A and B are shown apart, each in its own frame.
Chain A
Amino acid sequence: MSLVTIIWSMIASACLTLAAISFLTWGRNREAWANLFFSLLAGGTAAFAFCELGMMRARTPAEFGTVLKWGHVPTWLILVSLVGFARFYLKAGRTWLAWLVCGLRTLALVLNFLVGQNLNYREITGLRHISFLGESVQIAEGVPNPWMLVGQMSLLALVVFLMDASVTVWRRGDRHRALAVGGGAMFFMFFSTVQSVFVFWGIIRIPITASLSFMCLVLVMGYELSSDTLRASELARRLQKSEAGLHEIEERMRLAVEAADFGVLIRDFTRNEMWASDRWRALLGFSETERLDLQKIFERIHPEDREAVHLMVERARSGYGVYDADLRVVLPSGEVRWVATRGRVEFDGAGKPAFARSVAHDISRQKKAEDETQNLQRELAHAGRVSMMGQLASSLAHEINQPLGAILRNAEAAELFMQDKSPDLDEVRAILADIRKDDQRAGNVIDRMRGMLKRRSLDKRPVDVGELVREVAALVRSDAAARHITLELTVAEHLPAVLGDPVHLQQVLLNLIVNGMDALNGATRGDRRVWVTAALDGPKIVEIAVRDSGPGIPADQLTHIFDPFFTTKPEGMGMGLPISRSIIEAHNGRLWAENRTGEGASFRFTLPIAEQEFAK
């Protein structure tokens, strides 16, 4: 087989292979128009290579002419697909130039079939044998067809189009593509244009070898395309890898969420959809397939919590962005469950809520434990009050018997007055008024005692400090008198109300005052005093101090006095101060002890003022 046949066949087969590959690629991805045009370009080149081979091997001028005529069809295909490829691959090139190239070429193709033997020759007069690559091949001799100019104009227009497109791509910054694709196409197109001009106008006598340039063009384009494909596959590989990583992260998240026993709820505002993990559904008593909506979820929330949760979610949705709440859920079975939920709302560019993501978990056990702790503390506080009332029992009985005694004596006196023939009614009226007054007095003492003895949870509200101090003073007054102790109360004027439970605060104050009085047991008669003072300590805090004129707290005991069961009193339980401290801490305050310089101990505690007072 001759070298020419081998080379041209190889060109054709290489181009066909590339065309097939590229066509298949387009087949898989119909949007890869560049691949389709490349495939047509390569196919056209292969066809043209056969035509060239046919011309070189033509035996008669007529055969040469016919092959050349049909060779214009692949040429048309090559040009049009090159324009298409440039447009889609480079995304450049002026539209009018593209249309000009295609129009001229189509016109040339039409002329090819209408005018003369073919576009290039009006008539082929003979064939000449020339030596090419060491063998004899045919070239034509005849009258050139002037309409050939149209075809050559189209080639020129294509070169201009490609140049313009390359410049655009260069300016865009993609210099590699501009040079390799634009420049390459331009170079090989220019080369084959020049060759065809020289050959067909009879200036030089060589066979047409345009398919060689076209193949080079195809190879350059093919290289570019395949490197793009390589890059794409590299990207795909990386994507896969990162997807695997993402999956790993997802797995870890899922594991963490499951381990923490968290339920997850995601709400898509734009699509108005909700997705919840199985755990979340189980938490709120929804089945795994039940469709969720906001209404259904709210129906599960305990009626007492619904309003607050609604407000909180609304606030998060209208821009605050986060919510966080412990709430009660009532399951269809009637079981009540405590659920802690924390959520975040994501907003789109326009500031509208896009997604809300939240986690929820069961905190019923913690809540139960908290409740139990609170119950215990409440019981302990109550026990403390009962024990303190026990200590004060004798004084309190005295406090009650005082008005009762007065009532009895007044009643007896009134009876006597009424036995008179003309009783002094004014006196009797005065007696009745006094009886009423004393009854009220006894009732107050009983109310105070009952308040202290009642089992109750912490019920915070604004408490007037002056009233608090006076109430407690009323409870211990009689005891203080019996023990020759002077109680001095100093409450600063215009003190704001503090936030607290009046009974619990009374208990603390009572405990501190009784302790102060106990500290005076060994003191001489002359100076047995307990001072109670209340004053502002900063704008938001009220400090109440109980000081005594006793010997003070021994230094080695100062750190232990708040320990449970630490006591210095023979009948003491050692729970008074620990209870008092826990009460004050439950009020967000502080309770501490110090020795006054010189003499006596001082117990101080702070309480936050009630918020509405502060707001004033």
Chain B
Amino acid sequence: MRDAAPIVYVVDDDGSFLAAISRLLRANGFSVRTYSSAHEFLAQREADTPGCVLADLRMPEMNGLDLQTALVQSPNPLPILFLTGHGDIPSSVRAMRDGAEDFLEKRAPKEILLDAVKRALSRDSRERSARERQRELRSRFDTLTERELEVLSHVVRGQLNKQIAGDLGLHERTVKLHRTAITTKLKVQSVAELTRLTQEAGMFPELVQTLPKG
């Protein structure tokens, strides 16, 4: 799955532009799929393929921004690149704030367009790896019991076994056993490594502020 060729999904209600840009992208070696509406794209795209979306901002019924919202909430949040005939500030601000890769006019220079596509693809690949890694980490954390998670949350706050035992009403020995189980399950050697991994997996988001940077 990770080795599948990335695909540039182009969504535009203007058939003529759709044909033109897909020719250009193909000529530059990209795999392209075209859709004449956001609905069509959302219905037909494959669940988990790498790539990016190139969408017209202004489309009847579901426009580019709507597509972006739908995409962000999907399990395969491909990076989205907006194209517009004539850009308007409010739309572009909203698009960029919501994490659009770029916001280009349809007549933007080819290099900028192609760079943006490449950037989007590499971002997808990066995010995809990150998501993969996170999923893997999450699966490791998933093996922890409730009590072990509780002990972990104290450990990453930098508390000593004695304090943890006091807070949780356990024997210090029991706490030690839990810590050993945690390090074994998460395959870490040190507390520092444990802390970094916890952060990377996005555990205990409420603690993120207080955690020492790994």
Interface residues of A (CB under 8 A from B): 394, 397-410, 412-413, 416-417, 427, 431, 434, 437-438, 441, 478, 480-482, 484, 486
Residues of B with C-beta under 8 A to A398: 58, 84-86
B24 touches A401 (CB 8 A): no
Residues of A with C-beta under 8 A to B17: 402-403, 405-406, 409
Minimum C-beta distance from A518 to chain B (A) = 17
A403 touches B28 (CB 8 A): no
> When A394-B88, A484-B63 are in contact, do A405 and B58 touch as well, CB less than 8 Å?
no
A413 touches B24 (CB 8 A): yes
Minimum C-beta distance from B202 to chain A (A) = 34
CA distance A403 to B20 in the complex (A): 10
Residue ID in chain B nearest A398 by CB atoms: B85
A434 touches B24 (CB 8 A): no
Minimum C-beta distance from B173 to chain A (A) = 62
B88 touches A401 (CB 8 A): no
CA distance A401 to B20 in the complex (A): 13
The digit string for B103-123, where 1 denotes a CB below 8 A from any CB of A, is 001110010000000000000
B21 touches A409 (CB 8 A): yes
B16 touches A438 (CB 8 A): yes
Residues of A with C-beta under 8 A to B106: 401-402, 404-406, 408-409
Q: Offer 9 A-B interface pairs, CB within 8 angstroms, sorted by A.
A: A397-B85, A401-B105, A401-B106, A402-B14, A412-B110, A416-B24, A434-B16, A478-B85, A484-B63
Known: A409-B24, A431-B20. 13 other contacts (CB 8 A): A402-B17, A403-B16, A405-B17, A405-B106, A405-B107, A406-B17, A408-B107, A410-B23, A410-B24, A413-B20, A413-B24, A478-B58, A481-B60
Residues of B with C-beta under 8 A to A427: 23
Minimum C-beta distance from A395 to chain B (A) = 8
B107 touches A401 (CB 8 A): yes
Minimum C-beta distance from A400 to chain B (A) = 8
Chain B interface size, as a band, is 20 to 34
Residue ID in chain A nearest B114 by CB atoms: A412
Q: State whether the Cβ of B27 lies closer than 8 Å to any Cβ in chain A.
A: yes
Those 7 A-B pairs whose CB atoms lie nearest each other, nearest first? A405-B106, A398-B85, A401-B85, A413-B23, A397-B86, A409-B20, A416-B27
Minimum C-beta distance from A393 to chain B (A) = 9
Most-contacted residue by chain A among B16, B20, B21, B59 (CB, 10 A): B20
Minimum C-beta distance from A521 to chain B (A) = 15
- The prevalent SS among residues of A at the interface is helix
Minimum C-beta distance from A549 to chain B (A) = 16
Residue ID in chain A nearest B21 by CB atoms: A409
> When A408-B107, A416-B28 are in contact, do A402 and B20 touch as well, CB less than 8 Å?
no
A404 touches B107 (CB 8 A): yes
Residues of A with C-beta under 8 A to B19: 406, 410, 434
Minimum C-beta distance from A360 to chain B (A) = 59
A486 touches B60 (CB 8 A): yes
> When A401-B105, A481-B60 are in contact, do A431 and B23 touch as well, CB less than 8 Å?
yes
Q: State whether the Cβ of B61 lies closer than 8 Å to any Cβ in chain A.
A: yes
Residues of B with C-beta under 8 A to A437: 16
Instruction: Name the contact of B85 in the complex, choosing from A399, A409, A413 (C-beta under 8 A).
Output: A399
CA distance A214 to B105 in the complex (A): 133
Minimum C-beta distance from B104 to chain A (A) = 10
B20 touches A434 (CB 8 A): yes
Residues of A with C-beta under 8 A to B20: 405-410, 413, 431, 434, 438
Minimum C-beta distance from B68 to chain A (A) = 15
CA distance A177 to B16 in the complex (A): 113
CA distance A407 to B19 in the complex (A): 10
CA distance A368 to B58 in the complex (A): 50
The digit string for B66-98, where 1 denotes a CB below 8 A from any CB of A, is 000000000000000001111010000000000
